[in-house]
Amino acid sequence: MTKHRESRRLALAIGCLAFGISACGADALPRNVILISIDTLRADRLGTYGYERDTSPSLDAFARRGAVVERVVSETSWTLPAHVTMLTGLGPATHGVVGPIKRIADETPLLGEVLREAGARTIGLTEGGYMAANFGFDRGFDLFDDAPVGLRKNLERTREFIEERTSDEPYFAFVQTYHVHCPYHPAASMARYFRSPDAEFIETERRCDLYFNRLDLTPGQVRYLSDQYDRTIREMDTMLGSFFDWLDARQELEDTVVVITSDHGEAFGEHGEIGHSWSVDREVLLIPLVIVGAGIGANRLPGPVGLADLVPTLTDLLGLPPIAGVEGRSLAPHLRGEPSQVPLPEERFSEITWKGSLYSVMTDDHQLILDVEKGDTRLISLGEDSQVPPEVRARLESLVEDYRKRRRVTDTPALDEVSPVIRERLRALGYLE
């Protein structure tokens, strides 16, 4: 055993004490967490989820070393409420951050706050917009920065943070990036990838779904946007690959869990829309979840799970007590290959309610979407059978109505003002005209 590894074993034991864990073997529990959110990354555009294009070779290889959850359904389809769910373990209605000027309530505990209180050093690096400090995302971080410096720079800063801390300090690093978010603008070096013969160029600079959905796009133009999206994924994957190599060189995964996920996906004309602003169709809800590191065996979990399950999973993996009121369920027993006393639900619910009311319930085989304002439902078969029995529709309609009745609805404070900096960032991301 190398001197470096011996010091890490000692640091792990100290970290167990820091987290208040009474029975913690050297290889039993992780002590550090790295959570990377690739905003707008849909699962089916990654090789590990079956995509035929080679968009994600580094992430695919990394995923083979740990757990991949095959069906992950986001609770909503846009950045702000989805990330609040990711970092609180609460559904959108419960945490109440469901509109574009809402902020996280002071009394709602965030993952960073919980881990810092348990003794971890914490860093949060986002790219602003709806992930700015103004919305409350800075709470719980020793260092938080929402400057839009890009994924490459923020991964470098994460490395510096890990290197500069003392060896006996557990840590939590949260990195969020809009790299694959519109306006789908990869570096020129990515142009050699994924060139569809029928693609027709359309300008994307500072243009997003609010712009594209006003146009009568040709199939070739939609294909071009889709190709550009795939190129941004490949570029992102290269950056992640370098970061994974650095983690391996430091033997960081001996006592660290790395989570790669997203907040929502993106549509490319599957149901007539580009983007994700007002949709709960499967292409904007199905997201990746890859968990690699200490105590995590190589396996694939069928799911379904949601973003609310991340917080209870991570606290469980670290040996911390569960957070009161959390709605998600821990995946830790499933990740360790242990029997679980709490089975995962067979259906997942999603919603978007700030300029209307759309609700979705998704099972392995079907999805039902309720549009409250229009007063209609849409039933979609996710399997090979296009004929859906009437009793299936009736069951899913009943599930949605029950979900709406039992939701805990919270009213959270609004921002005092939206700064010009945030407005400009949101405009560049396509959220504002």
In the predicted structure, residue 371 carries a pLDDT above the cut 90: yes
Instruction: Encode 297-358 in three state secondary structure.
Output: CCEEECCCECHHHHHHHHHHHCCCCCCCCCCCCCCHHHHHCCCCCCCCCCCEEEEECCCCCE
Phi, psi of 379, rounded to the nearest 5 degrees: -105, 130
Q: Residue 421 belongs to what domain range?
A: 3-23+30-346+412-428
pLDDT confidence tier of residue 419, bands split at 50, 70 and 90: confident
Between 208 and 239, where is the model more confident? 239
Predicted confidence at residue 16, as pLDDT, reads 46
Residue with tokens 């040996």: 319
Tell me, what DSSP letter sits at residue 123?
Answer: E
pLDDT confidence tier of residue 207, bands split at 50, 70 and 90: confident
Residue with tokens 């580009």: 274
403 lies in some domain:
no
Residue with tokens 């005209």: 433
- Tens digits of residue pLDDT in 132-151: 999 999 999 999 999 999 99
Specify the number of domains making up the chain. Answer: 1
CB 196 within 8 A of CB 213: no
Report the chain's terminal Cα–Cα distance, integer Å.
58
pLDDT confidence tier of residue 386, bands split at 50, 70 and 90: low
Predicted confidence at residue 280, as pLDDT, reads 95
- Would you give the distance in Å from CA 202 to the centre of its chain? 29
Predicted confidence at residue 277, as pLDDT, reads 78
DSSP string, 132-184: SGGGTTTTT-SEEE-----HHHHHHHHHHHHHHS-TT--EEEEEEE-TTSTT-
The C-alpha angle 226, 229, 233, rounded to 5 degrees, equals 140
> Which of 63-72, 240-249, 308-317, 350-359 comes out lowest in average pLDDT?
350-359
Distance CA 253, CA 258 (A): 8
- Tens digits of residue pLDDT in 23-36: 343 345 789 999 99
Nearest to 65 by CA among 306, 300, 382: 300
178 lies in some domain:
yes
Indicate which CATH number applies to the domain containing 131.
3.40.720.10
In the predicted structure, residue 284 carries a pLDDT above the cut 90: yes
Distance CA 130, CA 79 (A): 7
Predicted confidence at residue 28, as pLDDT, reads 53
Mean pLDDT of 224-228: 97
Mean pLDDT of 345-352: 93
With a pLDDT cut of 70, the percent of the chain lying above it is: 92
Predicted confidence at residue 382, as pLDDT, reads 85
359 lies in some domain:
no
Between 59 and 6, where is the model more confident? 59
92 lies in some domain:
yes
In the predicted structure, residue 164 carries a pLDDT above the cut 70: yes
Angle between helices 151-164 and 219-249 (to 10 degrees): 20
Structure-token pair, residue 306: 């949601």
Q: In what order do the strands lie in the sheet with 299-301?
A: 143-145, 121-125, 171-177, 32-38, 256-261, 289-293, 67-69, 299-301
Instruction: Give the SS3 label for residue 203.
Output: coil
In the predicted structure, residue 121 carries a pLDDT above the cut 50: yes
433 lies in some domain:
no
In the predicted structure, residue 10 carries a pLDDT above the cut 90: no
Predicted confidence at residue 424, as pLDDT, reads 87
With a pLDDT cut of 90, the percent of the chain lying above it is: 74
Distance CA 21, CA 23 (A): 6
In the predicted structure, residue 341 carries a pLDDT above the cut 60: yes
pLDDT confidence tier of residue 282, bands split at 50, 70 and 90: very high
Predicted confidence at residue 385, as pLDDT, reads 65
Mean pLDDT of 307-326: 96
Mean pLDDT of 52-57: 98
Instruction: Give the SS3 label for residue 100.
Output: coil
Distance CA 311, CA 296 (A): 16
CB 240 within 8 A of CB 259: no
Predicted confidence at residue 398, as pLDDT, reads 95
Residue with tokens 């960081």: 252
In the predicted structure, residue 19 carries a pLDDT above the cut 50: no
Instruction: Give the SS3 label for residue 122.
Output: strand
Predicted confidence at residue 14, as pLDDT, reads 45
Separation in Å, CA 416 to CA 34, 101, 133, 249, 419: 32, 9, 13, 46, 9
- Tens digits of residue pLDDT in 388-398: 788 889 999 99
Residue with tokens 């679980």: 340
Mean pLDDT of 404-417: 89
In the predicted structure, residue 5 carries a pLDDT above the cut 50: no
Q: Which residues pair with 121 in a beta bridge?
A: 171
Mean pLDDT of 91-98: 96
Phi, psi of 348, rounded to the nearest 5 degrees: -125, 145
66 lies in some domain:
yes
Mean pLDDT of 7-18: 45
In the predicted structure, residue 410 carries a pLDDT above the cut 80: yes
- Report the predicted TM-score, pTM, of the whole model to 2 decimal places: 0.92
Tell me, what DSSP letter sits at residue 70?
Answer: S
Summary mean pLDDT of the chain: 90
407 lies in some domain:
no
